[in-house]
Structure 1
């Protein structure tokens, strides 16, 4: 488990580094370089538009790589998605600006950002499932939480590189070539990630599937629409909060408040670092008190903190900005630390890679893709304090609260043992284990194994 968790963590960190470095560049330099005919505000909106394309591609990547993961194994997904995202990120660093090739420049950005999103759409499902399906049921949230530390670590790598370059180079040097260096560095990181993942074992749950579905996505649409749609609506607020803090706030504080970008980046990075360190703690609480309980608490905390966060940001004072960011991200990680265990437990093994990844990445479209654009537009229409942004995030938090309330709890029953090593499936009640003749759940229904001839259907399996 430590080796699997470390490899999954490293891979997700590298993939999210690729994704986040684009968001930071979009907030700081892509507008004037690739959309120079626009006004500063319109140029930022256009750069965030290319940023959103990556989110739109992620559900498509979930379908594509989910098909591979459910039919051919979780392990091939990790290699293919890392190659695609890494290659697209390196290529962004070589795209000429608008002044060199005209309208072809933003079109190339759009294409490469789409490929980034396509690869990342497959990464999360493969990395999380490989870890979660190896983990013992009583510690599944803890072990599956390690890939969830990848996004904060990837963010710190991406923004740390930008922060160092911003401090070392003049504004002209950074705009001319400095912003490209973090994209070129993605090639080295991708090679390291491929080396780490080359010897990982296949998931035992996948190996137990006798007949994989012909088209997993069709099965998900037919039989699992409800959990997919509810998880998408529930997770939208987490994405919205994270990208409000890490992307929109960076642009808002530097452009509207006149705060130095290194100061803003430092505040955001400090808050993200604390959040990443808290991830295992929240995951342990998910194993102890339940996945849905943590998710409901995170949504409630988000709804209560958005107006204070925006007020603290509007002060432009670094300690207060940090406090606002930290409160928002702690509410976010309360939800997302347990999501890596929660989502796979909502789906049966045959379609788990597709179902969990599609729900996760649809939430990214609803919350992550449009939030920087909506927040920028709301801030432009507001006064000194962008209360509209706070209201928007609060509404998303209430939506998430309702969606999580409609989903079942999936934490394995306390004290239940699984001699066959087969993880528990959704809705296992907290009741004594019933003896069975096969790998069935504690409540007597068919457990975490493929459907088919001979599957348990009665109370005794």
Structure 2
């Protein structure tokens, strides 16, 4: 059954928002599961012969493989989404991610299958990356192309709540396992349960997504791009590169705060696994709050302005993040991680409106998805690897904070070169005069 939400008013928009939120949360739950498992158990399950640092680097390398695959997913799903429609890609990406995640839960470890075990893990992780590479752009466009121009940021916030919910579920699952299972049971079979649970979540997501209709903006756009990625390269390459650079530090901050900090705090500093997972769980709730605030703030004050302020604050906090973590005391550790996630939420909130507004309808899926996922290659794929090597070389994680601050400086330069898009119609025309007048009255 398909529900035509295009003309259903507020109730229809709420259904679209629910579909975007539920599906994105499930996809990011699947994606974040690997990060948590890589930090806690995958080195010993799939790379037991490499030693502690080598196994962690190997697990993070497979983790990075998914980020390298995400731009490919953006191109593949973007092609389908720009030529055939947004809805089909959202169903396909959810299926690909869910099946790949469940297969990881069934994969034997190195002791059972030898070298084939990490090889297949890498292949499944690549499939996850392709699936998530197509997911975010489709979900962002689903709301951006339904929402009224004056509230596009607020509705885009539902997409950005998906990573918060997905992270909460993934970390919550491992927190429950860590509390109730012994170390031996967690390594032997317990870690598989959250991966296998993905099949149930995907079924729920498919039920929700199959009930929505194609976006009205796409239905009204009859001129289709022949090869969307080529058109993006020729006519919008600057926006893609600058946009990818702008979101780069957000990726770095998130994955260093969650995946790498989790591994370093538990294995390197000897902090209790349940303590760090609990702090990160609380941080995900705070992050959801700042996502919601900044998404709405982008409608009122401008997307780029909010992104610039949040990025500057995140870059400054990066220098304090790891010194606080290395105190090993509960209060400074909680302050370091929760504040980082709060600032990250402020960076994430406006993106689901901002990136789609940079591109015309005929290539919007490819452009927005490619921009978002290219930022992940530098910020998300390489950051844990760089951090692991820096810590091993200097004996402390404090240089990692300066590395992250450097990423923030580059992101600020990219934002400065990008335009403000608040008030821009998705076809590129200015907003109606009455909407401009309303914004002047509101300040």
Long gaps (5+) in structure 1: 414-422, 435-461
Q: Which whole-Å CA distance do the structure 2 matches of 1:170 and 1:338 have between them?
A: 42
Aligned pair partner of 1:152 in 159, 164, 167: 164
Q: Secondary structure at the match of 2:349?
A: helix
- Residue 328 of structure 1 deviates from its aligned partner by 1.4
- Give the secondary-structure state (helix, strand or coil) at the position aligned to 2:214: coil
CA shift at 1:433, angstroms? Answer: 8.2
Report how far residue 338 of structure 1 moved.
Answer: 0.2
Q: 1:203 and 2:215 equivalent?
A: yes
Give the conservation status (yes or no) of the 8 Å contact 1:298–1:335.
yes
From 250, 274, 277, the equivalent of 2:289 is: 277
The Cα offsets for residues 246-291 of structure 1, whole Å up to 9 and x where unpaired, read as 1000000011100011111111111111111222111111000000
Equivalent residue for 2:230, pick from 210, 218, 224: 218
Whether 2:195 is the aligned partner of 1:183: answer yes
1:367 aligns with 2:379: yes
Aligned twin of 1:137: 149
Q: Give how far 1:424 is off.
A: 4.6
Q: Within 2, Cα distance between the matches of 1:61 and 1:268?
A: 28
Q: How does 1:258-407 map to 2 (within 5 A)?
A: 258-383=270-395, 385-407=396-418
Asked if the contact 2:361/2:427 (under 8 Å) is kept, the reply is no
Structure 1 length-normalised TM: 0.90
8 Å CA contact 2:145–2:216 kept in 1: the answer is: yes
- Matched-pair contact (CA < 8 Å) for 2:98–2:198: yes
Residue 117 of structure 1 aligns to a residue whose secondary structure is helix
1:257 alignment counterpart: 269
* Residue aligned with 1:199, SS: coil
- Return the alpha-carbon distance in structure 2 between the equivalents of residues 212 and 428 of structure 1: 22
- Considering fraction of residues, name the structure with more helix: 2
Distance 2:421 2:154 in 1: 14
1:214 CA drift (Å):
1.3
How many Å separate the matches in 2 of 1:375 and 1:229? Answer: 24
1:82 aligns with 2:94: yes
Higher Rg of the two aligned structures: 1
Paired residue total: 424
For residue 48 of structure 1, what is the aligned residue in structure 2? 60
**In the alignment, structure 1 residue 100 sits paired with structure 2 residue 85:** no
CA contact (8 A) 1:411 1:426 kept: no
Instruction: Map 1:12-23 to 2 at 5 A.
Output: 12-23=24-35
Contact 2:145 2:426 in 1 (8 A): no
Query: In 2, distance between residues paired with 1:402 and 1:236?
Result: 12
Q: CA RMSD in A?
A: 1.5
Unmatched runs of 5 consecutive residues or more in structure 2: 1-12, 437-443
Distance in 1 between the 2:170 and 2:65 partners? 19
Q: Distance in 2 between matches of 1:204 and 1:429?
A: 17
1:30 to 26, 37, 42: 42
Contact 2:171 2:280 in 1 (8 A): no
The structure whose RCO (Cα within 8 Å, separation 6+) is larger is 2
Distance 2:204 2:83 in 1: 27
CA 1:28–1:6: 2 relative to 1, 3 Å: same
What's 1:247 paired with?
259
Question: C-alpha displacement at 1:33, in angstroms?
Answer: 1.2
Contact 2:293 2:346 in 1 (8 A): no
Aligned position for 2:182:
170
Q: Contact 1:410 / 1:426 at 8 angstroms: preserved in 2?
A: no
- Please give the secondary structure, in 1, of the residue aligned with 2:106: coil
**1:10 aligns to 2:22 (yes or no):** yes
Question: For the residues of structure 2 that align with 1:433 and 1:266, how far apart are their CA atoms?
Answer: 44
Distance across 2 between alignment mates of 1:433 and 1:142: 16
CA contact (8 A) 1:13 1:152 kept: yes
